[in-house]
Amino acid sequence: MKRYFLLLVLAALAAPISQAQSTCSTYYPLVDGANLQYTNYNKKGKEDGQINYTVTNVESSGDNVSATMMMEMVDRKGNTYTSDYEIACDGDVVKIDFKSLMNDQMLSQMGDVEMDMSGTDVELPNNLSVGQELPDANMELKMKMGGAINMNTNVETINRKVEKQESVTTPAGTFDCYVIYSETKTKMMMANQTFPSRTWFAKGVGMVKQESYNKKGKLTGSMVLTQYSK
């Protein structure tokens, strides 16, 4: 269960949201009732679960927009893990409320766990261009389990860069995308790991595809947009 909580947190960092009339963000606009389904695949291309997103409670005031993102993760065995969190767009910057991830629903799935979360946001500007370097991001999670065991996890997203423009086809359609390369550094207990990844972003849709690699550059898994409605 604790492993899936960390997966939910990482999934939240990609928070794909569909198109609205707001000019707040080109790639992360907000619209009430949008639904997106992503299918996870392992390194051999076999299905390894799904993540479903639904946008609710959208409120706007000028260029400022806020919403609740409902997220449901289903693993390959059919087990379901859910969470909802707050997301806001202020001007041309999208921000995730990390503390809202620790809601009552999530805590009830975790059992006897106390958590403290902090971090900086992943930013995606409206105007992307090939070769552009993007700001790093960081998330720190402190967990106290069973009143005795402490586990601290630090996740950094670094070396973010717009590599190229590319058209990509998924079961949800064909999309013109910018491809962003990044590296995720995870520090948990005594283990330190770095995972390169590439993410395909389309205007008005958000994330269309994501691939993760090992340190040798070999594919370890992917996530693809398989259904999309608004």
What pLDDT score does 160 carry? 93
What pLDDT score does 88 carry? 75
Strand partners, 65: 60, 89
Pairing relationship of beta strands 191-202 and 173-188 according to DSSP bridges = antiparallel
What mean pLDDT comes out for the span 151-173? 92
Range ranked top by mean pLDDT from 70-79, 94-103, 127-136: 127-136
Pairing relationship of beta strands 64-74 and 47-61 according to DSSP bridges = antiparallel
What pLDDT score does 21 carry? 37
Give the pLDDT band (50/70/90) at residue 65. confident
Q: Is 70 exposed, middle or buried (0-12, 13-18, 19+ CB in 10 A)?
A: middle
Q: Mean pLDDT over all residues of the chain?
A: 79
- In the sheet with 47-61, reading across from the earlier edge strand, the strands are 93-96, 80-90, 64-74, 47-61, 35-42, 219-229, 206-213, 191-202, 173-188, 149-170, 137-145, 113-119
**Greater model confidence, 174 or 116:** 174
Query: Are 98 and 138 in contact, with CB atoms under 8 Å apart?
Result: no
Give the pLDDT band (50/70/90) at residue 1. very low
| Residue corresponding to tokens 């992503």 | 38
Range of the structural domain that residue 159 is part of: 2-229
> Taking 60 as the threshold, does the pLDDT of residue 110 lie above it?
no
Q: Supply the pTM of this predicted model.
A: 0.80
What mean pLDDT comes out for the span 202-217? 89
What mean pLDDT comes out for the span 171-197? 89
Query: Are 220 and 214 in contact, with CB atoms under 8 Å apart?
Result: yes
Count of domains for the chain = 1
Nearest to 7 by CA among 226, 219, 227, 212: 212
Q: Domain of 143: which CATH number?
A: 2.40.360.20
What mean pLDDT comes out for the span 157-184? 94
